[in-house]
């Protein structure tokens, strides 16, 4: 092999290896995978703490990804969640109050409360980014201190697949017919007692 050909082949191998390394990062669920998914590019994920950011980037939260302050992760198919997410279900995780930190943008949140559509009759207060409209979390008036956050706002997409993967599905009686149950997730007809 001529020296030039050898050099070209080496370069080729290196580019291929680089490409493979990037692909490994996406597939390796033990490492953060933070794709560009919002106006902000400063989301992060550590061993037990990670960020959640709204679509425009004005609001950023930090929350624990393990331990007892992460209460639950669940999908809710109720009619209220379908409407408020403008989608077919809400994917939630609950964080106890002192552990949810507002990194920035708390004053850029707007609150909307109502009790009309809530089965229990309780008031739910929803906190949206004023700029882009992302729903960051909800609070149930009857269960203060339990912030119902949104898995989709979490910057490290590998957490969606691992630590935040829904443990259960509630209001499955309202689930859209073209959706299947999540494998391994507890199926609950109505409201979970633990929500």
State which of residues 29, 33, 44, 56 lies at the interface with Zn ion (CB under 5 A).
Answer: 56
User: Is 132 one of the binding residues for Zn ion (CB under 5 A)?
Assistant: yes
Beta strand pairing status for 135-140 and 90-96? Answer: unpaired
Shortest distance, CB of residue 84 to Zn ion, whole angstroms?
8
User: Is 37 one of the binding residues for Zn ion (CB under 5 A)?
Assistant: no
Separation CA 157–CA 29 (nearest Å): 9
75 phi and psi angles, rounded to 5 deg: -100, 140
Shortest distance, CB of residue 141 to Zn ion, whole angstroms?
15
Q: Which is nearer to Zn ion, 50 or 81 (CB)?
A: 81
Q: Which stretch binds Zn ion (CB under 5 A): 5-13, 44-52, 81-89, 93-101?
A: 81-89
State which of residues 69, 85, 123, 131 lies at the interface with Zn ion (CB under 5 A).
Answer: 131
Give the HSE-up count for residue 28: Cα atoms under 13 Å, Cβ half-sphere.
9
User: Is 78 one of the binding residues for Zn ion (CB under 5 A)?
Assistant: yes
Q: Which is nearer to Zn ion, 78 or 172 (CB)?
A: 78
Nearest-Å Rg of the Cα atoms of the chain is 20
Shortest distance, CB of residue 17 to Zn ion, whole angstroms?
38
Give the bridge partners for 54, in sequence order: none
- Residue indicated by tokens 């729903």: 135
User: Is 164 one of the binding residues for Zn ion (CB under 5 A)?
Assistant: no
Judging by beta carbons within 10 Å of its beta carbon (0-12, 13-18, 19+), is residue 3 exposed, middle or buried? Answer: exposed
Binding site for Zn ion (CB under 5 A): 54, 56, 58, 76, 78, 81, 129, 131-132
């Amino acid at each position: 092999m001529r020296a030039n050909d050898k050099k070209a082949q080496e370069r080729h191998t290196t580019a291929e290896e680089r490409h493979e390394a990037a692909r490994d990062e996406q597939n390796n669920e033990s490492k953060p995978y933070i794709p560009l998914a919002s106006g902000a590019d400063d989301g992060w994920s550590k061993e037990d703490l990670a960020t959640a950011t709204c679509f425009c980037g004005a609001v950023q939260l930090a929350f624990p990804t393990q331990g007892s302050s992460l209460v639950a992760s669940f999908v809710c198919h109720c009619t209220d969640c379908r409407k408020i997410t403008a989608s077919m279900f809400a994917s939630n995780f609950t964080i106890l109050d002192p552990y949810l930190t507002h990194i920035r943008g708390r004053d850029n949140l707007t609150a909307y409360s109502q009790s009309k559509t809530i089965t229990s009759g309780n008031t739910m207060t929803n906190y949206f980014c004023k700029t882009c409209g992302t729903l960051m979390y909800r609070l149930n008036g009857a269960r203060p201190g339990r912030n119902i956050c949104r898995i989709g706002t979490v910057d490290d997409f590998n957490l969606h697949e691992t630590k935040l993967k829904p443990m259960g599905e509630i209001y499955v009686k309202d689930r859209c017919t073209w959706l299947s149950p999540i494998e391994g997730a507890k199926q609950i007809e109505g409201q979970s007692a633990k929500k």
